[in-house]
C-alpha cells in the first residue's frame, strides 16, 4: 500500500478544506477536521481521513446539513440538551460541552443529551476531552441497526459504542475505554470492502447468521456482537442511553452512515460528566493510582487507551502515514 506522511496540521487542513468545498460552514468543518487529525494520530484510520469523502458526499446529498446551527437548551439544572439539527455531531457536542463541563463542576454531575445528530466518529475522542477537564466522562452513541439479537438474524441495534475516560493529575486520561458492542467497528468492515480485502472470521455474519470472510456479505448481513449475548446487552444499553434517553432515532429506523439513501439518520449521543471530588471524598486519585499500579506492575499488561496514547505521541513527532488512494479521493473534492 502506497502511503504519504502528513503532519497533524496538514491532515486537519486537508479535511477542513474538503468539508468546506463540499458545502460545510467553516464553523462546522473545524471541529470535525480537528477530530479527524486526532483520530489519525490515535491510529484509528478507519474513522480518519478515509471518512472525509463520505462526510462530503453526505453534505452534498442532504444526509447531513453542513450549514446547521445546533440549538442548546437546559431543561433541568444539571441537564443540557442539544438539537444537532441534522448537522454534524461534532459542533453539537462542542456546544454541549461548553455548558456541560462547568455544570458538572458546579453540580457534581451533569448530563448532555444530543438528538437529530450523525456519526460522531471515535467516541473516545470526546470522553478524552472530559477527562482532560478533570471529570470522569461517560459517552454513548447509537448507530443504524447492524447487530441481530441473540437467537435472531435481523439487525435491531447498531454497533453502538460506549466510552469511559477517567482523569489523571497530569490532565490526560488515566484510563480510556472505548469499545463498540460488535467484535469490530463496522467502519473496519467497510474499509476492507473498499480495499477488496477479506475480513477475519468473527467480524461479521451473513443474512442467515453464519460467519463470513466476505466484507460485502457481512455488510448485507449483520455485525458479530462482542462476547455473544453480552455484546447485544451492551448495544441495548447504549441504544437506551443514546436514543431513548435523548429522543433520537432508534437504530432500526436510522438511515445508513454510508451511501446516499434515506436522508438524515437523526441518531443521538449521551454524555455524563462527574466531578470525582464530589463523590470520592478526595480519594479518587489514590484509588485510581492503586488500580493502575496493579496493572502496570505486571509484565506485558497494558491499560485501555495505552495503544492510542503511544501512537498519539509518535504522530505528534513524526506525522502519520496516509493511504495515497485516500488522499487522491479527498484531493479530487477540492
Delineate the domains of the chain, giving CATH numbers in brackets.
3-182+225-293+304-331 (3.30.1370.60)
Residue of 25, 46, 153, 280 marked catalytic: 46
Residue of 12, 115, 188, 239 marked catalytic: 188
Q: Note if 280 is an active site residue.
A: no
| Predicted model pTM | 0.94
- In the chain, what percentage of residues exceed pLDDT 90? 81
pLDDT tens readout for residues 132-157: 999 999 999 999 999 989 888 889 99
Q: Is the pLDDT of residue 190 over 90?
A: no
Return d(Cα 270, Cα 276) in angstroms, integer.
19
- In the chain, what percentage of residues exceed pLDDT 70? 100
Residues 6+ apart with CB under 8 A from 134: 105, 167, 171, 275, 276
Phi, psi angles (nearest 5°) of residue 282: 80, 10
Q: Note if 46 is an active site residue.
A: yes
Q: In the structure grid, which three cell numbers stand for residue 299, read together?
A: 509484565
Q: Note if 47 is an active site residue.
A: yes
pLDDT at 333: 94
Residue of 12, 47, 115, 146 marked catalytic: 47
* Region 289-305 average pLDDT: 94
Indicate the burial class of 309 (C-beta count within 10 angstroms; 0-12, 13-18, 19 or more).
middle
Amino acid at each position: 500500500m502506497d502511503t504519504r506522511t502528513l503532519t497533524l496540521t496538514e491532515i486537519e487542513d486537508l479535511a477542513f478544506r474538503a468539508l468546506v468545498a463540499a458545502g460545510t460552514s467553516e464553523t462546522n468543518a473545524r471541529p470535525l477536521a480537528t477530530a479527524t487529525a486526532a483520530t489519525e494520530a490515535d491510529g484509528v484510520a478507519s474513522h480518519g481521513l478515509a471518512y472525509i469523502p463520505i462526510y462530503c458526499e453526505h453534505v452534498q446529498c442532504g444526509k447531513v446539513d453542513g450549514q446547521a446551527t445546533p440549538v442548546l437548551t437546559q431543561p433541568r439544572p444539571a441537564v443540557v440538551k442539544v438539537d444537532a439539527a441534522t448537522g454534524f455531531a461534532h459542533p453539537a457536542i462542542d456546544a454541549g460541552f461548553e455548558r456541560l463541563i462547568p455544570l458538572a463542576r458546579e453540580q457534581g454531575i451533569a448530563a448532555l443529551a444530543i438528538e437529530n445528530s450523525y456519526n460522531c466518529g471515535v467516541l473516545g475522542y470526546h470522553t478524552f476531552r472530559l477527562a482532560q477537564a478533570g471529570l470522569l466522562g461517560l459517552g454513548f452513541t447509537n448507530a443504524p441497526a447492524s447487530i441481530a439479537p441473540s437467537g435472531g438474524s435481523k439487525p435491531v441495534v447498531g454497533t453502538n459504542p460506549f466510552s469511559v475516560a477517567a482523569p489523571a493529575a497530569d490532565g490526560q486520561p488515566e484510563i480510556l475505554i472505548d469499545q463498540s458492542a460488535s467484535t469490530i467497528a463496522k467502519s473496519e468492515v467497510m474499509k476492507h470492502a473498499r480495499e477488496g480485502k477479506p475480513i477475519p472470521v468473527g467480524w461479521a455474519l451473513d443474512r442467515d447468521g453464519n460467519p463470513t470472510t466476505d466484507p460485502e456479505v457481512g455488510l448485507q448481513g449483520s455485525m458479530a456482537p462482542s462476547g455473544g449475548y453480552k455484546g447485544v446487552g451492551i448495544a441495548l444499553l447504549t441504544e437506551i442511553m443514546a436514543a431513548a434517553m435523548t429522543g433520537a432515532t432508534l437504530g432500526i429506523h436510522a438511515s445508513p452512515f454510508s451511501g446516499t439513501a434515506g436522508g438524515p439518520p437523526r441518531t443521538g449521543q449521551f454524555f455524563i460528566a462527574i466531578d470525582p471530588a464530589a463523590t470520592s471524598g478526595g480519594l479518587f486519585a489514590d484509588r485510581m493510582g492503586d488500580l493502575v499500579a496493579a496493572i502496570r506492575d505486571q509484565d506485558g499488561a497494558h491499560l485501555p487507551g495505552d495503544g492510542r496514547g503511544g501512537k498519539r505521541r509518535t504522530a505528534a513527532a513524526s506525522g502519520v502515514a496516509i493511504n495515497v488512494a485516500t488522499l487522491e479521493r479527498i484531493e479530487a473534492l477540492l
